[in-house]
Structure 1
Amino acid sequence: MAQRAGLALRRKMAALLGLRSSARLLPLLGAPRSLHVTPGNPSARVAVVLSGCGVYDGTEIHEASAILVHLSRAGAEVKMFAPDIPQMHVVDHSKGQPSQESRNVLVESARLARGDITALSQLSAQDYDAVIFPGGFGAAKNLSSFAVDGESCSVHSEVERILQDFNKAKKPIGLCCIAPVLAAKVIPGVEVTVGQEEEQGGKWPYAGTSKAIQGMGGKHSAKEVHEVHVDKTHKVVTTPAFMGQAPLHRIFDGIGAMVSSVIKLTGK
């Protein structure tokens, strides 16, 4: 039944697009794979690690999109990765409540990557100049157990390997929103920001995260959403993004500053 429904949908889409055969639809949808590759010599090769698709159980979509736009503007060549694992859970975003279904992090992340995505196990620091992690609760649920365990959390083994390898190779690491907790757990003494350290009347609802970062041995620097913190020693660049309540364009600007700082640290 599901196959018949899927075939009917493809035929309907093909008809809407003016295609005679639904078999021609997949090549059409797959065509923009070069979207994240700049013609000529790229300024830098950057890996972007996703954690699903959707703020409450995966990657924050606005953050991922902003990162990709700023990387494109910088002339970078981008490849996206995600772990091939089940999500911690699936959240019905219209209700803000968990549902009973199960989903795969790699499969869901492929939605953001327009299908051009690779299993995280294939990411090697020697092939890229930098790595960037968008936020969203997926970073705290799928890439780590921070959402459940706080400062006592564990980090997914592949994520830990990647952070350690880029750090040892002295290649820059960018993280935004809640994702800086990953670096705080894996890189001893790293300096990061997740925004302000007090809630300020609800403007910074996740301000307590700064104390967890310090509990994990990291150092926290208070910043606004349009600002970044650059740890020059560890080459780690962070920005608060949706950890604070702010207009979308200011969050976009902060992510742009993070991307720009990461590219600058590559030396390209």
Structure 2
Amino acid sequence: MKRIGVLLSGCGVMDGSEINEAVLTLLAIDLAGAEAVCLAPDIPQHHVINHITGREMEEKRNVLVESARIARGEIHDLATIDTLDLDALILPGGYGAAKNLSDYAYKGSEMEVLPAVADAIRNFYTAGKPLGFICISPVIAARVLGSEQVEVTIGNDTTNAEAIEKFGATHVNCKVSNIHTSKEGKVLSTPAYMLGPTIGEVAKGIEKLVNAVVALA
């Protein structure tokens, strides 16, 4: 059975993984006859947001511990990724990708990616293993693999597209229900909640991405 890594960044769209995107990814992997293996970095969460008010809260959380909520406790520290025998890696979106896995939310085109995340992406790319990026996470792909001239999509937002192009990658407009496969490497992406508007439309794109990743693995 193919083993597909799902790299999470917390729990909740405003400060972690977008829960719908993460769960839809896990569901699609299972329906495709593959095994989902959840991972997250064991690091402090950048901050905690009240998802009712949108305001920052005075508390501290851990990305790995929060991600375990989505994974029902079945999760691995990203530091152990080389021991997990994974065939592919998928990154759901949510602001956690831009706050915990990288600092894109604060630095934009001057962003840096968490070294362990960047290393994992480069290693999968070099090994010819598929990489899937959902929602805002394609900016991470662009930052890490821009020199490889990969193509990604975040839908049709010009600001994020400009940042992607600045990294050396190419942005391709895409509908929420579709995916884009890069001509360079096995790099796939879908807009998801960068466009929305409904969970049903988001699910179509994620299912296509997962099925393509599993087929390439």
* TM-score bin, normalised by smaller chain: over 0.9
Deviation readout 1:124-177 (Å, 9 max, x if unpaired): 287111000000000000000000001110000100110000000010000100
Q: Which amino acid aligns with 1:140?
A: A
1:181 and 1:158 map into 2 onto residues whose CA distance is 16
Question: Who is 1:234 aligned against?
Answer: 185
Query: What is the percentage of aligned positions where both structures have the same residue?
Result: 45
Question: Who is 1:196 aligned against?
Answer: 156
1:263 counterpart = 2:214? yes
Question: Who is 2:102 aligned against?
Answer: 144
Pick closer, same or farther for the CA change 1:218–1:125 going to 2, 3 Å.
farther
Q: Answer 1 or 2: higher relative contact order, Cα 8 Å, separation at least 6.
A: 2
SS at match of 1:127: coil
Deviation readout 1:206-265 (Å, 9 max, x if unpaired): x41111101111100000100100014210000000001422101100000110111111
Instruction: Compute the TM-score of the two structures, normalised by the length of structure 1.
Output: 0.78
CA contact (8 A) 1:45 1:128 kept: yes
CA contact (8 A) 1:125 1:165 kept: no
2:60 and 2:214 map into 1 onto residues whose CA distance is 36
Q: Which amino acid aligns with 1:165?
A: N
Question: Who is 1:135 aligned against?
Answer: 93
1:68 and 1:210 map into 2 onto residues whose CA distance is 27
Aligned residue runs from structure 1 range 108-257, under 5 A? 108-124=66-82, 127-187=85-145, 188=147, 189-197=149-157, 207-257=158-208
SS at match of 1:118: strand
CA contact (8 A) 2:152 2:188 kept: yes
1:108 and 1:172 map into 2 onto residues whose CA distance is 26
Pick closer, same or farther for the CA change 1:171–1:125 going to 2, 3 Å.
farther
Q: Which amino acid aligns with 1:196?
A: N
Instruction: Compute the TM-score of the two structures, normalised by the length of structure 2.
Output: 0.97
Give structure 2 stretches of 5+ with no counterpart: none
SS at match of 2:213: helix
Number of matched pairs: 215
CA contact (8 A) 1:139 1:179 kept: yes
User: Whose Rg is larger?
Assistant: 1
Deviation readout 1:166-198 (Å, 9 max, x if unpaired): 00001000010000111100012110000014x
CA contact (8 A) 1:47 1:130 kept: yes
1:215 and 1:233 map into 2 onto residues whose CA distance is 17
Pick closer, same or farther for the CA change 1:125–1:162 going to 2, 3 Å.
farther
SS at match of 1:124: helix
SS at match of 1:254: helix
| Two-structure CA RMSD over aligned residues (Å) | 1.1
SS at match of 2:53: coil
Deviation readout 1:49-89 (Å, 9 max, x if unpaired): 00000000000000000001100000101111000000111
CA contact (8 A) 1:125 1:166 kept: no
2:138 and 2:196 map into 1 onto residues whose CA distance is 18
1:107 and 1:179 map into 2 onto residues whose CA distance is 20
Aligned residue runs from structure 1 range 65-144, under 5 A? 65-124=23-82, 127-144=85-102
2:83 and 2:164 map into 1 onto residues whose CA distance is 25
Q: Which amino acid aligns with 1:63?
A: E
Q: Which amino acid aligns with 1:192?
A: V
